[in-house]
Copies of this chain bind each other. A is one copy, B any other.
């Protein structure tokens, strides 16, 4: 593989498409962000992607080793299809990989965004030296990716790793997936912020009221983290609660998979050391005895532009 080759990494989001030219070490050489035009349907989105790739590569395709796309929704890696991604109306099932390949003379890899995050950590990040790890991404949803023997574990239909929809309380709050008590229904951004908003009505002395200027619509994981760092007890209790619950689900997963390293990324991971310490403690308390002393919990290494870098890693991962 020539050292001069680059990968194009594409982070497909409902609002914007982020496209980067990335080198073998995961360094972004050039980057653009363009409107997804999601409301105009799949053809318009594909047109935007094509436009973005042309922009970023300056039409010099000979240096492009391949194009990697991290997409929301149900993705079939082998076929390069993306099905019903949330926030993309009238989408159905789209052969995204094929559509892009027709325009550019290189390999195109399409993967779901949670697996993309795991592959990003495997190729460039906190999982680079590891044979096996469990990646968990804390955002609007709680995503998961499982690396076994340095390969992503896809399962029978490419849908494996849905750690966000492991229940920790069969009688718990209903999750948007239809089940009850999924970890996502506790710590997914919207569920978490919604719950904190309610609790704040009885926590008039919490700094979060001040930090949001009493406009609770401004509440975010970042502000919770800031309040906790300023010593706000309520904010700290939110982070500890998230960490404990995340530990409950991860202990179950470790018991099933016998994989002892967990990498945590995404917005809520910004809760910092208090979150990581609590997760580790919680897993250790709950996991079966033989695994207790092996648990390692690490933050993801790819932070800004993790989506673009992860998508570009799909190219180097397959190469």
Contact = CB atoms under 8 A, between A and B. Distances in A.
A148 B245 CA distance: 29
A166 interface: yes
A137 B256 CA distance: 14
Contact of A160 (B167, B169, B180, B257): B257
A18 interface: no
Contacts of A259: 155-156
A162 B290 CA distance: 11
A306 B287 CA distance: 29
Given A252-B252, A286-B178, A258 B155 contact: yes
A74 B245 CA distance: 27
A258 B165 CA distance: 12
A155 B252 contact: no
Interface in A140-166: 144, 146, 154-163, 165-166
Contacts of A258: 154-162
A167 B256 contact: no
Contacts of A144: 256
Contacts of A154: 258
A311 to B, nearest CB: 22
A168 interface: yes
20 contacts: A74-B290, A132-B156, A155-B259, A156-B260, A157-B290, A157-B291, A159-B290, A159-B291, A160-B256, A162-B256, A162-B258, A162-B288, A165-B255, A166-B255, A167-B251, A167-B252, A169-B170, A170-B248, A178-B288, A256-B257
Given A159-B291, A160-B258, 6 more contacts: A155-B259, A156-B258, A159-B258, A163-B255, A167-B286, A168-B170
